[in-house]
Structure 1
Amino acid sequence: MSDVETSTATLEPTTAAGTAVGIGASGVPPEGNADAMSAAKESLEDYTLRFAPRSYRKWSAGVVATSALGGIAYLADFSIGANIGIAYGTVNAIFGIIVAAVIIFATGFPLAYYAARYNIDLDLITRGSGFGYYGSVVTNIIFATFTFIFFALEGSIMAQGLQLGLGIPQWIGYAVSTIIIIPLVIYGMKTLATLQVWTTPLWLLLMVVPVGYLLLSHPESIDAFFAFTGASGEGGPNLASVMLAAGVCLSLMAQIAEQIDYLRFMPPKTADNKGAWWRAVILAGPGWVIFGAIKQIIGLFIAIYLIAKLDPAAASSANEPVHQFLGVYEEMMPAWLAMTLAVVLVVISQIKINVTNAYSGSLAWTNSFTRITKTYPGRMVFVVVNLVIALILMESNMFEFLNTILGFYANCAMAWVVTVASDIAINKYLLKISPKVPEFRRGMLYAVNPVGFVSMLVSAGVSIAVFFGAFGSSVQPFSPIFAVGLALVLPPVLALATKGRYYLRRTDDGIDLPMFDADGNPSDAKLLCHVTGLEFERPDMLRSGQDGPDGEPQFISSLALSTDKSGELVLPAQK
């Protein structure tokens, strides 16, 4: 059963209205009404463009957290750990992993909290955290890029497994790993939650048992692990190598956006569930990086074991997860069973993460396209777009250039995420210049806010220039420091310089009902949207710029407003 079907309680009052559906209270179909209706109906499954209402959020904190963590079952971490270890040695790789994990956790925490507390995705958070209504489109593109890069990476790993285990040529494996995902992302959060919860125990068993076996049966491998110097030949820590390793790991910073695509469905925080609520937010939010760092170190450990056990030439495939786990499984069981389990692990892992990549990427593309064109083409259009781009990357053998691709992308991801985190932590809570309650609705925000928009462009631009050696080879390894440092400092500087004037175009949305309940959670009071004829919860609504036939106020959802091409329904700027 799809999520649209499970939401019939929301649709029934509208369908009962017959031909009145989608007609404004004035009796005139507003311009862009067909797009508004299309977006309203389809978004019931995933809330692509807006706040996730309480009436839909029926999962417990534990189920949401498990679903979110299921999305980090990807095997790319094993490849990343192996690649940076082979290049820079164990000590530098581990320090790099730790540096990246600390930065990712610290910046991810405020974002995860805002998503769970206010039930909005990272794009909506970004809009009100220094970027403006249209300014956050560029960050959506950054995130969409993240989803198809990592979809391609995971698809490549699955193709390697299919080739090794079943003899399927890699180019066919790339297509199989792409096509298999499409049916699973059609129905949104409900299907994804079920998939993640049911596959996680088997995935954990297949991953943890062989690593535990290796540690117990070959304790000498631990000494070889810490003694490994890699291609650099460095036995001790080297700051440049540590930062180069950290830069690759920091490419995963945008993963917090995928965690948030689950966390926005958290139940309301109350006195009764406060402890469970916070545990879920921390564990499934910034806490994802703890599991990611562990996987990176495990990937490096297995790769070094295989190189030492076989010969240095094993390094050519020791960074491929299917070869890593196959090598360990073969020590535990017959070859045929080892091969079977290795392929099963790769396929399960790939499906678990790539349904999330495809889902989150489609949300990002749809959101941006709808805002720019005021047209809603349907989320599935962008599921296909995202997967086609990923397939092209796979067929281009992007796996061979993994470190370079991830190192470059990391600069963009860091600039975006750290800018938003800086605005929340410093501008909202410390300086109190940025409005503490996130705003995302059209008409309430300026088109572009220079505080976040300029901060991100400057920090990304400078760090990318450093990454490509524009300031010399001695500075080149430290591009992550430039990205994080500038993105942390520039938002408060620009907020003070502009005196916060570009955050809100309006402070009054024209509705007298309170936005939050007694516990501080978004209100579940409902209002009728005069454009679609559907009821939406209070945080999703604002007064329409068009009054009723007798001059009475009418209300419009943020969803319908996003497809208003005339602009007549947008409230004027507040003086």
Structure 2
Amino acid sequence: MTITNATGGDGGGPRSSGGFPGLEPAPRSYQSWVADETIEDYALRYAPASHRRWTPATITHTALGGISFLALEAIGAALTISWGVQTTVVAVLLVSVFIFVTSLPIAYHVARANVDLDLLTRGAGFGYIGSIITSLIYATYTIIFFALEGVIIAQALLVCFGLPLPVGYLLSALVVLPVASRGMTAISRFQMATQLPWIVLALLPFAAIAWADPDAASRWLAAPGPELSLLSLGAAVGVLCALTLQIGEQVDYLRFLPPRETTTRLRWWGALILAGPGWILVGGTKILMGSFLAWLAIGNGVAHEAAVEPISMFWHAYEYLFGPQTALLVATAYVLVAQIKINVTNAYAGSLAQSNFLLRVMRYHPGRLVWLLMHVAISLTLMMMGVFSTLEAVLAIYANLALAWLGALFADLAILKPLRLSPSHLEFRRAYLPDLNPVGCGGMAVGGLAGLALYLGGGGPLLQAWSAPIASLVALIVATAIGVLRRGKGYIARPPSDLGAGQQHACAICSHSYATPDMAYCTFYERPICSLCCSLEPHCRDFCKRSRPAGTEMSQSEDGAVRLHRVSPRLWPRIWQVVAMFLLLMALAGCLYLAARYMSVWLRSPEQTVSFFLAAAPLMALLAFWAVLANERRRLTEENLLDALRRLGSTQRELAIRQRLAAVGEVAAMISHELRNPLGTITSSVEVLSRSPGLGAEAEEDVARIRRNIGRCSRIIDILLDFARQGAHETVSVEMQGWLAALAAEHPERAVITLEVQPGMMLRCDPARLQFAIRNLIENAWQAAEAEVDRAQRPAIVLRAFREAGRAIIEVEDNGAGLPPEISARAFDPLVTTKAAGVGLGLPLVRRVAQMHGGDAWIERTGPGGTSMRLSIVEQP
């Protein structure tokens, strides 16, 4: 719809603006390392095309360099010692297929949407707050494996140089910081530079073993051991399933894959598969290599405890080529190269995961470097606690939660989206996402609880062994069922605003420019802001997603009313919040118990377990009660602050408008007096001139043009005078059907106007003023519909009149292009116009006419399908 004055946010309500038009956003400045996109690599953001400048081959090499971790060999060795070679081989094959299938849709959607795993999870069935727990799970994954790889480095330094383990832990943690702190560019260069030495050192001992002992591989496959059974296979599969989350580190690189249009189909898909789910092809091979080397070392007299350590197994393998001392040095060099490669990736991915998690919990973003240091510190603590000695137990517990998450995620990406039961577009911005989506959150919760219950022995030894795959399957089934029932509902909190064409938009808060997919229109500040500033905004309390914005004026029947409640209206929400918080705290206590049990600290007997939970329950209940009340107090404080800000903004806005109107009123009389006489003289002269014989076609056209401009000047004077008038207005009773029909018939294009009036509707009003307001709305609607030159249907206007909630509503609807968000909110502000020949007083006059009749004027709806403007009237007695 074309309007005579505009600039600002969403319509849709009894006011032109639902936001805080008088409230200026506080400028936010980031530290230099946060603002430096080379360091931040668009952490927490969409990766724009301008930053995706690496070739598919570079992305593939960088991503594959991140799977050098020797924890894979250590896992293969541990499984071989516990369950035998045959069980290990079968488990690796099964899990490799499982990981490839579940990782492929994740990799594809990340590469297409150019977001990391956390942002993908937000829009794939979990919601903005619902994905907090998944961020924590992924951050935990990177911390666990960073610690495991650091322990392997420290073991190598101890064996080769006699360096104490604590010193080795510290060195392994600090050595990755120079590269991981610089982001994707530095990591890519480092991975490319170390790729060839890593590959050569990894394959060299196997080539030597194959040369010296060609039958070693066949003897390894035929090695005696525990009998293959469903129980042993399930235990091995449960440990390996924890590796499924490695896809999170792979997609941290895949999000920078260049657009498909800029490269060949074969190169794009090849990079997607190799750098994404294809990691398990190398990873599964490395697990089997570790199993083989451990079997070989044990067969040659190496103790079981030492055979699990990568430095020991590779030292023994290199002895097929070198003497003991040289073999030790080469094995140490290989361990250092491989482990630094993977820990650079672990540190980078972990800092992103922790940023995503803590950003939503704390609404604070000091920069990825701060969380990188925190990641390293936590990992160093786990090294000191001896995480490597509990490798199998830690991974088995962790796998249940990880697979429940990925099962629910797979359900959305691979089932619901192809069936069009969830949106094809992956939304990650807080402004447009619901806090919780029951599809992913419900599926993961049910699957995770089922898996943990089985792992704790709830279904017997067999189901305990297979608890992780069962958790994934249950999560997939539950998420799919919820998605089918909801049929796409709950993925979007409000339709994304169209910010218009253009590759870059400036954020109103941080002043940096970002690509359109990374921007959101904030209805709180009524300006576009970037997705990160939107996530960090502490004041709005998701104002944009409320059906009725906080602070909207109450109706006259509610204003001043005092309502007494026998029971607090928020009693049940508080009860549910306390229960949910209590269950969460008890779940955390259970995790602490399991960690303590498997680290052989305490709580081994069932009696102690029961005592532990009974003792913890009252404390957890008090903590839950305190947390809910503290949150309630904070919520009420913020609501009061928002209401005060709204009132201040409204007052400032009203004051500014009144100042403008006062200025108009002061000059209106003078303008009218000074212009009426000259216009009258011009009109008389033109009439005389038009009667002169022999003017010619060109002169007659000039005369017609003068008449049109005289009429325009007269209309401007009438508008100015109407703004200058004060006092009461006269009202009469009119029959709406005939009155509006006569009004529509006066329009030059009356054929496009459809009249819809409630039968028998009478209205007491000031007909002259109301007629002027409705004409203005019709003219705006006609100009908007007529401006759409590339339309399939002809312009159309619908004029409606009906009663609603005790008021008369007059609505004018067009089928034009609609108003963008930056236009619609302040459409009724005076002296602002989008027309070349407008004065910006048409719509303010419409609102003034409505307010004279006790009502208001607003934009009811606007979008690609057209705009609907409403005017409400309270009948005068």
TM-score scaled by length of structure 2: 0.58
Q: C-alpha distance in 2, partners of 1:275/1:87? A: 42
Q: Deviations over 1:234-259 (max 9, x none)?
A: 2xx31221121111111111100000
Compute the displacement of 1:216 (Å). 2.5
Match of 2:512 among 534, 558, 561: 534
Q: Deviations over 1:322-376 (max 9, x none)?
A: 1111101112112232111111111111111111111111111111211232221
Compute the displacement of 1:38 (Å). 7.1
Residues 222 and 409 of structure 1, relative CA distance in 2, 3 Å threshold: same
* 1:467 and 2:461 correspond: no
Q: C-alpha distance in 2, partners of 1:63/1:210? A: 28
Paired residue secondary structure (1:346): helix
Q: Deviations over 1:158-203 (max 9, x none)?
A: 1110011111111211111112122222111111111111101100
Whether the aligned pair in 1 keeps the contact of 2:205 and 2:320 (CA below 8 Å) is: no
Q: C-alpha distance in 1, partners of 2:28/2:315? A: 53
Compute the displacement of 1:55 (Å). 1.1
Whether the aligned pair in 1 keeps the contact of 2:434 and 2:493 (CA below 8 Å) is: yes
User: Which residue pairs with 2:271 in the alignment?
Assistant: 280
Compute the displacement of 1:541 (Å). 1.3
Compute the displacement of 1:379 (Å). 1.5
User: Which residue pairs with 2:532 in the alignment?
Assistant: 559
Q: C-alpha distance in 2, partners of 1:418/1:477? A: 18
* 1:357 and 2:343 correspond: no
Match of 1:446 among 417, 430, 434: 434
Q: C-alpha distance in 2, partners of 1:158/1:481? A: 32
Residues 250 and 72 of structure 1, relative CA distance in 2, 3 Å threshold: same
Q: C-alpha distance in 1, partners of 2:232/2:485? A: 37
Where do 5+ consecutive residues of structure 1 fail to align? 1-25, 514-523, 549-553
- What letter corresponds to residue 302 of structure 1 in structure 2? L
Residues 251 and 37 of structure 1, relative CA distance in 2, 3 Å threshold: same
Q: Deviations over 1:555-574 (max 9, x none)?
A: 21112111111118863457
Q: C-alpha distance in 1, partners of 2:89/2:160? A: 31
* 1:49 and 2:44 correspond: yes
* 1:165 and 2:160 correspond: yes
User: Which residue pairs with 1:434 in the alignment?
Assistant: 422
Q: C-alpha distance in 1, partners of 2:440/2:287? A: 32
Whether the aligned pair in 2 keeps the contact of 1:35 and 1:375 (CA below 8 Å) is: no
Whether the aligned pair in 1 keeps the contact of 2:405 and 2:472 (CA below 8 Å) is: no
Q: C-alpha distance in 1, partners of 2:460/2:291? A: 30
Q: For residues 325-474 of structure 1, what are the structure 2 equivalents within 5 Å?
A: 325-430=314-419, 432-474=420-462
* 1:302 and 2:293 correspond: yes
Q: For residues 182-201 of structure 1, what are the structure 2 equivalents within 5 Å?
A: 182-201=177-196
Between 492-501 and 456-465, report the one with greater CA deviation: 492-501
User: Which residue pairs with 2:85 in the alignment?
Assistant: 90
Residues 392 and 572 of structure 1, relative CA distance in 2, 3 Å threshold: closer
Paired residue secondary structure (2:495): coil
Paired residue secondary structure (1:34): coil
Where do 5+ consecutive residues of structure 2 fail to align? 1-20, 549-877
Q: C-alpha distance in 2, partners of 1:168/1:27? A: 64
Compute the displacement of 1:429 (Å). 0.8
User: Which residue pairs with 1:34 in the alignment?
Assistant: 28
Residues 134 and 39 of structure 1, relative CA distance in 2, 3 Å threshold: farther
Q: C-alpha distance in 2, partners of 1:295/1:377? A: 38
Whether the aligned pair in 2 keeps the contact of 1:36 and 1:559 (CA below 8 Å) is: no
Q: C-alpha distance in 2, partners of 1:307/1:372? A: 48
* 1:176 and 2:154 correspond: no
Paired residue secondary structure (2:529): strand
Residues 370 and 219 of structure 1, relative CA distance in 2, 3 Å threshold: same
Match of 1:291 among 259, 282, 285: 282
Residues 539 and 39 of structure 1, relative CA distance in 2, 3 Å threshold: farther
Residues 343 and 143 of structure 1, relative CA distance in 2, 3 Å threshold: same
Compute the displacement of 1:284 (Å). 0.7
Residues 547 and 314 of structure 1, relative CA distance in 2, 3 Å threshold: closer
Compute the displacement of 1:314 (Å). 2.3
Whether the aligned pair in 1 keeps the contact of 2:31 and 2:366 (CA below 8 Å) is: no
Compute the displacement of 1:40 (Å). 5.9
Q: C-alpha distance in 2, partners of 1:65/1:290? A: 14
Residues 241 and 130 of structure 1, relative CA distance in 2, 3 Å threshold: same
Whether the aligned pair in 2 keeps the contact of 1:29 and 1:531 (CA below 8 Å) is: no
Q: C-alpha distance in 2, partners of 1:295/1:535? A: 44
* The structure with more strand, counted as a fraction of residues: 2
Compute the displacement of 1:210 (Å). 0.8
Compute the displacement of 1:27 (Å). 10
Whether the aligned pair in 2 keeps the contact of 1:151 and 1:354 (CA below 8 Å) is: yes
Whether the aligned pair in 2 keeps the contact of 1:52 and 1:265 (CA below 8 Å) is: yes
Paired residue secondary structure (2:461): coil
Q: C-alpha distance in 1, partners of 2:368/2:100? A: 30
Match of 2:478 among 480, 485, 490: 490
Between 435-444 and 538-547, report the one with greater CA deviation: 538-547
Q: C-alpha distance in 1, partners of 2:310/2:103? A: 27
User: Which residue pairs with 2:249 in the alignment?
Assistant: 258
- What letter corresponds to residue 351 of structure 2 in structure 1? S
Whether the aligned pair in 2 keeps the contact of 1:427 and 1:491 (CA below 8 Å) is: no
Q: C-alpha distance in 1, partners of 2:541/2:125? A: 26
Kindly report the root-mean-square deviation, in angstroms, between the aligned alpha carbons of the 2 structures. Answer: 2.1
* 1:206 and 2:201 correspond: yes
Whether the aligned pair in 2 keeps the contact of 1:91 and 1:226 (CA below 8 Å) is: yes
Paired residue secondary structure (2:417): helix
Whether the aligned pair in 1 keeps the contact of 2:212 and 2:320 (CA below 8 Å) is: no
User: Which residue pairs with 1:18 in the alignment?
Assistant: none
Match of 1:510 among 494, 498, 510: 498
- What letter corresponds to residue 496 of structure 2 in structure 1? D
Compute the displacement of 1:547 (Å). 6.2
Between structure 1 and structure 2, the one with the greater Rg is 2
TM-score scaled by length of structure 1: 0.88
- What letter corresponds to residue 434 of structure 1 in structure 2? S
Compute the displacement of 1:147 (Å). 0.6
Q: C-alpha distance in 2, partners of 1:337/1:373? A: 51
Q: C-alpha distance in 2, partners of 1:331/1:444? A: 61
Q: Deviations over 1:449-484 (max 9, x none)?
A: 111012112111111221221222232111123112
User: Which residue pairs with 1:16 in the alignment?
Assistant: none
Residues 458 and 185 of structure 1, relative CA distance in 2, 3 Å threshold: same
Whether the aligned pair in 2 keeps the contact of 1:544 and 1:569 (CA below 8 Å) is: no
- What letter corresponds to residue 167 of structure 2 in structure 1? I
Q: C-alpha distance in 1, partners of 2:91/2:66? A: 23
The structure with higher relative contact order (CA 8 Å, sep 6+) is 1
- What letter corresponds to residue 41 of structure 1 in structure 2? A
Between 78-87 and 497-506, report the one with greater CA deviation: 497-506
Paired residue secondary structure (1:429): coil
Q: C-alpha distance in 2, partners of 1:434/1:389? A: 38
Q: Deviations over 1:386-444 (max 9, x none)?
A: 111111111111111111111111111111122111111111112x1211110001121
Residues 490 and 468 of structure 1, relative CA distance in 2, 3 Å threshold: same
Compute the displacement of 1:498 (Å). 3.0
Q: C-alpha distance in 2, partners of 1:573/1:68? A: 42
Residues 391 and 40 of structure 1, relative CA distance in 2, 3 Å threshold: closer
Whether the aligned pair in 2 keeps the contact of 1:412 and 1:460 (CA below 8 Å) is: yes
Residues 573 and 435 of structure 1, relative CA distance in 2, 3 Å threshold: farther
- What letter corresponds to residue 277 of structure 1 in structure 2? W
Q: C-alpha distance in 2, partners of 1:299/1:445? A: 44
Between 387-396 and 68-77, report the one with greater CA deviation: 387-396
